[in-house]
A and B are shown apart, each in its own frame.
Chain A
């Protein structure tokens, strides 16, 4: 039992670390602000959630102690992190940060133009 628990905990934490690494590589490698935020907000959220879940499983299975604060942290990060990404990107778009030069469509721009014409 304890070996299976250790395997689950180790798997979750390593998976979370891997997702965080992928997010960091994405932030370095991707071309513009929007794609970078796409990598950072999604992948690092999942990475943090996996690490916290691994931590919760560690306390639950090995220390036999249900740590509600970690669960609250999981819920909180899951709710707030995408919204933070959304707000940063909206601020960037309103500031006029350009898209990558190979981007093919900008739906928000056409929608705003249509609204202005009306």
Chain B
């Protein structure tokens, strides 16, 4: 560790950080896992999923939006937070239609892997069974809003990676949903291309590239081979894209 570098404590481990770095970014750089679904290295954090909630003293904060400070003591892997994270994940499951047996993202899905990580055996809460619009208008990409967890990674990727501004979240409360910035509101009239980060970054089965589903045998999918705490979202997306384009 360079002498000018500061550090904080995360679950009894010293994590070095540079001023201005968030707890999440410092932890990821030190290869220490804090659960997260809406964080992606290099994309500005937004604190949507709350899975990265950690404790500093008696305060719960989102690790992705809280700046690291010298010598703070941060707790993450404690029962209280595991229980809270499981409840949050259950809430994400019941708000959408997460019918894994019929979803082509199964085995490659970060939400599902998170639920496995947290030992989620049931959904606990009553199902919402929402009826949101599927957009299959684009020749190469489709959008299933019932699987969207509103992480807004696609929104931010489309603003920050290529400046196309294809996506936004519209509506309030439970009516919030992913919308497409085009005259008709359809993907077909947007500038989205399959190679855009925004089309690839979805951690669940909401934004999908057409005609590449079910190509990886069971047992060889990303989360058949890795646990979510061993592989970051960045690697998941790289790995999935390699799988998805293998036969092209």
- Tell me, yes or no, whether A binds B: no
Chain B residues packing against A (C-beta within 8 Å): none
